[in-house]
Amino acid sequence: MAESAEADSEADMDSDYEPPPWKSYLYQLQQQAPQPRRIVCTMEVENRPKYYGREFHGMISREETDALLGDVEGSYLIRESQRQPGSYTLAIRFGGTTKNFRLYYDGKHFVADKRFDTIQNLVADGLITMYIETKAEEYIKQMTGEPIYESCGYMSLRRRNTTTTRVVTTFSRTVTTATIDEVDNFSSISSSTSQSSDNSSLDLALSPSKRASTQASSYEKPHNFKVHTYRGPHWCEYCANFMWGLVAQGVKCADCGLNTHKQCSKVVPNDCQPHMKYIKKVYGIDLTTIVKAHNTTRPVVVDNCVQEIERRKDGLLSEGLYRVSGFNDDIEEVKLSFDKDGAHADISESAYEDINTIAGALKLYFRMLPIPLITFDVYPKFIEAAKIADDKDCLRKIHETLDDLPPAHYQTLTYLMAHLHRVAKCDKFNLMTAENLGMVWGPTLMRLADTNSLAGLTDLKFQRRAVELMIKFQDALFN
């Protein structure tokens, strides 16, 4: 019934979708722009750079340049500067005047940010840009004021993915609960734990967390826009206007594929819905990006590795768990498997008998995050909290700081600390106390943005203490 309702919902969304009214005004202007007309030098010019052709006229004056270009719109030539020999100027006739641009070459030709294989294409793109920006200056300024963003195909897909997310995250919670119930079977084994892993040793009286349980679909994520060259006509998916020019006409989100003008990208909401066809891997990808792409509350690597360790008969009892290294080749194999197969990666005991391989793959995932689990912005607050000598005051500060983490990071940290707490409860067998786990996981979960800074070395003991206390008092901190 749930699947049927979901299908009906998707069908309704598809039937409601109408293509936005793409606007053709700027496209028509591009068609009307002057065409480039090369002014050929009829004489042999000494020391002509090998990357210029017969449009190069050597060292001539501005007056000679004007005479050669005449009154033909779009005519152009290249000359060597008389004031700065060895530098070159591209002269283009536009709007009844000569426009002069300093010309550069680094394997491609350019006068600004855009790079071109040929001078002809550079001039053609420049003429289009100057013509459109002259004829439609006011129109361009007002483009972002009438967005069609809510009705474009991207938003229709995003709403569909949001519906799917509710089903996937519910399933994920069910699996996690079952796994935790399995681990509770160790209660008789771990009853004689050290006092260091008992939350009752301190009366913290912490206030409830401000953070509600968050669906992955509601995680805020900015778009990852990159300058993009489109082959053939393309329209902006924010304002519905044509994206003019021959190269680098706009920007494309590297995570979800949204296409917009550069100026429109500045006002697009932070609602990126990443897709695996653009991301193509799991390790080394921003944490919020990957959970939104997979429609899960936490990264699949974290869920699957934790569940596999806790599922195995002696998983939590393995001596030196997370301290003992697995074989690098096997860990790399697990990484490639997640990158290729995602949640379907086979990390079962029949595939990898050594549990340290799974533990190593989990640690590697966190080490490879471009933004660590304890984000760069929040890192200084964690260190300052860890410097507070009194445990109660230190924990209160950590508790406050946790609310500053992005939702995906908070959910993942909550899940990981609960797992490590269960590991520490078995320290009689695995010898991994909360203190030992803090030493292993501290530098893995947090680091300075500047990896060359000496401050990172002095922070090590505070990184360890912060993680140790989060493990010991995870139930109170992540209530």
- The pLDDT confidence band at residue 206, using thresholds 50, 70 and 90, is low
- Residue-level pLDDT at 6: 42
* Poorest-pLDDT segment among 12-16, 55-59, 148-152, 411-415: 12-16
- Residue-level pLDDT at 166: 37
- H-run or E-run covering 5: helix 2-16
pLDDT for 378 beyond 80: yes
CA distances from 376 to 414, 445, 446 (A): 18, 11, 8
- Residue-level pLDDT at 208: 60
| SS3 assignment, position 113 | coil
What would the pLDDT profile of 165-179 be if each residue is shown by its tens digit?
433 333 333 333 333
- Residue-level pLDDT at 47: 86
Distance CA 253, CA 275 (A): 11
355-367 vs 300-311: helix crossing angle, rounded to 10: 160
CA distances from 184 to 172, 177, 179, 187, 281 (A): 19, 11, 9, 5, 34
pLDDT mean over 70-88: 94
pLDDT for 464 beyond 70: yes
pLDDT for 302 beyond 90: yes
- Residue-level pLDDT at 69: 96
Distance CA 73, CA 279 (A): 45
| SS3 assignment, position 250 | strand
Give bridge partners of residue 329 from the DSSP assignment: none
> At which residue do the structure tokens 């044509």 appear?
242
- The pLDDT confidence band at residue 12, using thresholds 50, 70 and 90, is very low
What would the pLDDT profile of 354-363 be if each residue is shown by its tens digit?
999 999 999 9
Between 68 and 1, the higher pLDDT residue = 68
CA dihedral 334, 340, 341, 343 (to 10 degrees): 70
pLDDT for 158 beyond 80: no
What would the pLDDT profile of 406-438 be if each residue is shown by its tens digit?
999 999 999 999 999 999 999 999 999 999 999
What would the pLDDT profile of 307-360 be if each residue is shown by its tens digit?
999 999 999 999 999 999 999 999 999 999 999 999 999 999 999 999 999 999
Between 280 and 131, the higher pLDDT residue = 131
pTM value is 0.73
- Residue-level pLDDT at 171: 32
Distance CA 372, CA 379 (A): 9
Distance CA 132, CA 261 (A): 14
- Residue-level pLDDT at 192: 41
pLDDT for 399 beyond 50: yes
- H-run or E-run covering 387: none
Cβ–Cβ under 8 Å, residues 148 and 240: yes
- Residue-level pLDDT at 450: 80
Q: Which residues contact 418 (CB under 8 A, 6 or more apart)?
A: 180, 474, 478
pLDDT mean over 135-147: 87
Q: Which of 197, 249, 273 is nearest to 30 (CA)?
A: 249
Distance CA 97, CA 267 (A): 35
**How many CA atoms lie within 13 Å of 375's alpha carbon, on the beta-carbon side?**
16
